[in-house]
Amino acid sequence: MITFEDLKKVLLTDYADENINIIIKAFHFASEAHRGQKRRTGEDYIYHSIATAHTLAKMKMDVPTIAAGLLHDVPEDTDFTLEDVKNVFGKEIAGLVKGITKLSTLKYRGLERYAENLRKMFLAMSKDLRVIIIKLADRLHNMQTLEGVRPEKRLRIAQETLEIFAPIANRLGMFEIKTKLEDLAFIYVYPDEYNWVKNLVQDRLKTETKYIEKIKKIAQRDLAKHNVSYIQIRGRIKSLYSLYHKLLRKGKDLNKVYDLIALRIIVPDVTDCYSVLGIIHKRWTPLKGRVKDYIAQPKPNGYRSLHTSVFTEFGKIAEIQIRSQEMNEEAEFGIAAHSRYKDLKNIGNKKNAPIWVKHLLDIQKTITDNVEFIKHIKNDLFLNSIFVFTPKGDVIELPENATPLDFAYHIHTDIGSQCVGAKVNDQMVSLDAQLKSGDVVDIITDKNRKTPNPDWLKIVITSMARDKIKSKLRK
């Protein structure tokens, strides 16, 4: 159980230069509002509010967001109103609490209700991303205490978490929250599969842990020898839900999974990242095609790191990730990592808003049919992503199974409509070929071609490409 003292420790460490009195005031207000209320787990309700705020503080969110985390259930579950919150804490904090209160009715029941609630959530996200970040922190603690909920409701909450909230966390680059939500939901949504994966890796993890410790000690010695400083070197165990999907792709063969445990090396700055990579490759031979530079070419959600898989003297392959402290915080907390320095309000109206946020807003406005709306959302937001490159080296994010035509329309409508062929990694491919992460895609166009082929509607999988093809055909 996380107490207010735990929250204060984080605040006094990470928020030493900021005025945290408003957070202390919010704690006392929420404690009074929730006095006498218990959760199904039997603990006082205020501990849920504290846990939510603690997660937000660990993510380094701004002070108003942490205060709103403490107050997020007050208008809905107590005798105090939103107006009371506004009178005591002001417009900004009350606005965040209002946003969370609107999302609190989100229920995974029935197509129409499901669609309307998704629309409501995405609209809230477009106005202020801090609302959805508070919701993710709230959902994390709800998942951690899900055992106290009746079975049918437990399954619904877990499904909703796996299908809606974890993908949103992923889109925001919040990988720590995403993996925690996935693993907590995995237990309830796919209990048999969860137990299979857990039992499969149990003995293997003991061996792998000893092995990665040996690699860690060798890396520490090599870095010391070359006078390269580091902040931390640690083993990272692959999450069970992520491992489950990888096993399905690898024919359920655990021996084909090289990154069950990876070594993560965190260093002071970018220059050190490349120095460490050179030292690692001097010691161990890298696998061909397994060196990935996400610092020079970050993923579209902002993820930056160096990845390499190497052959070691123990006759095994090890995956090593190298990143700076700043990159590590961004990888764990995503867009929330620097929220005290970035404006997350009105992101949907900004020119620099993420493409997927803009696309969600477009879908909100243009698609009124709820069946179509959900199909678009699941295609564009909730499918696993691949990362491919333009010939100039720009990174493009597409859903799994995307084709060169999806890529072409993602770049520009005219490039899609004028497409007459495609090269992937300098090889001619058919327009319905499935792209893979790391592919370099070059679209061949003919400017005399103005109209797309109607059969392309059977090839593309992204709603963006499909909509653009339909629009051209109508014209």
Tokens in use for 470?
A: 């339909």
Tokens of residue 452, six digits: 């797309």
Q: At what angle do helices 129-144 and 91-103 cross, to 10 degrees?
A: 50
Q: Which residues, 6+ apart, have CB-to-CB distance to 263 below 8 Å?
A: 212, 215, 216, 219, 233, 234, 235, 236, 318, 319, 320, 321
Q: Which helix (H) or strand (E) covers residue 27, if one does?
A: helix 21-33
Would you call 455 a catalytic residue per the annotation? no
- Which two tokens mark 376? 């678009």
Write the CA distances from 85 to 26, 30, 75, 79, 428, integer angstroms. 9, 10, 8, 11, 62
Burial class (CB in 10 A: 0-12, 13-18, 19+), 265: buried
Structural element, H or E, at residue 372: helix 370-377
Alpha carbon distance, N-terminus to C-terminus of the chain: 61
The partner residues of 423 in beta bridges, in order of sequence, read: 428, 442
Task: Please name the helix (run of DSSP H) or strand (run of DSSP E) that holds residue 321, with its range, or none.
Answer: strand 317-324
Catalytic-residue membership of 182:
no
List 319's β-bridge partners, or say none. Answer: 262, 309
Asked whether 254 and 204 are in contact (CB, 8 A), the reply is yes
Q: CA–CA separation, 466 vs 345, rounded Å?
A: 31
Single out the catalytic residue among 6, 43, 44, 77. 77
Catalytic option among 76, 112, 269, 446: 76
Active site residue ranges: 76-77
